[in-house]
């Protein structure tokens, strides 16, 4: 349904395809670098989210990283095997625990995060504040369409 020939007939398909390509371009950015560190993008996302913070429980972590609970269990398992994060029992509510970075996790975070931020920052510096706003507005309009 996202074919370019059909897009000629249905102009909205052009928009949809462009959204997909833009999203794919985003997910590709930095992925090579992340994988060289032995991490997957979701794993990196968790490390980055836990950096400079005392910890999050699963619910919070899922909201921040946009990863659903069932998936998060596996991601945290693998990060725990790598010794990068730890599950810490919550004192007050034994149903939940805090996920925190280990010493190794902290070290990794400090090594990779500034570089990643800088990388993105440089890429976005080509945008004027006006362009930034225009893109934000455009995305919100598009999102609204899909949500209705």
Partner DNA sequence: TTAGTATAGTCCTAGTTAGAACTACACGCA
Partner DNA sequence: TGCGTGTAGTTCTAACTAGGACTATACTAA
Binding site for DNA (CB under 7 A): 40-43, 57-59, 66-76, 78, 87, 92-97
User: Which of 23, 73, 83, 110 is close enough to bind a copy of itself by CB under 8 A?
Assistant: 23
User: For residue 142, which of 6, 26, 7, 14 has the smallest C-alpha distance?
Assistant: 14
Please tell me whether residue 98 binds a copy of itself under the rule CB under 8 A: no
Range 40-46, long-range pairs (CB < 8 A, 24+ positions)? 40/75, 42/67, 42/71, 42/75, 43/75, 43/78, 43/79, 44/112, 44/116, 46/75, 46/76, 46/79, 46/85, 46/99
Q: Which does 130 bind (CB under 5 to 8 A by kind): a copy of itself, DNA, none?
A: none
Q: CA-CA distance, 46 to 74, in Å (whole number)?
A: 12
Q: CA-CA distance, 137 to 139, in Å (whole number)?
A: 5
Residues in contact with a copy of itself, total (CB under 8 A)?
52
User: Which of 7, 29, 96, 102 is close enough to bind a copy of itself by CB under 8 A?
Assistant: 29
Enumerate helices (H) and strands (E) in the chain, giving the number of each.
Answer: 8, 2
User: Which of 22, 71, 88, 107 is close enough to bind a copy of itself by CB under 8 A?
Assistant: 22
Q: How far is the CB of 73 from a copy of itself (least distance, A)?
A: 20
Footprint of a copy of itself on this chain (CB under 8 A)? 1-3, 10-12, 14-16, 18-26, 28-29, 44-45, 48-49, 64-66, 113, 116-117, 120-121, 123-124, 126-127, 131-132, 134-143, 145-148
């Amino acid at each position: 349904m996202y074919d370019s020939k059909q897009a000629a007939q249905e102009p909205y398909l052009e928009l949809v395809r462009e959204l997909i390509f833009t999203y794919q371009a985003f997910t590709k950015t930095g992925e090579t670098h992340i994988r060289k560190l032995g991490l997957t993008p979701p794993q990196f996302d968790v490390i980055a989210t836990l950096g400079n913070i005392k910890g999050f429980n699963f619910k919070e972590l899922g909201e921040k990283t946009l990863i659903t609970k069932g998936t998060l269990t596996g991601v945290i398992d693998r990060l725990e095997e790598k010794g990068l994060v730890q599950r810490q029992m919550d004192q007050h509510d034994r149903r939940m625990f805090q996920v925190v970075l280990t010493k190794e996790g902290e070290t990794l975070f400090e090594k990779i995060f500034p570089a990643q931020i800088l990388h993105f920052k440089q890429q976005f510096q080509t945008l004027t504040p006006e362009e930034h706003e225009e893109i934000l507005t455009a995305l919100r309009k598009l999102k609204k369409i899909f949500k209705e």
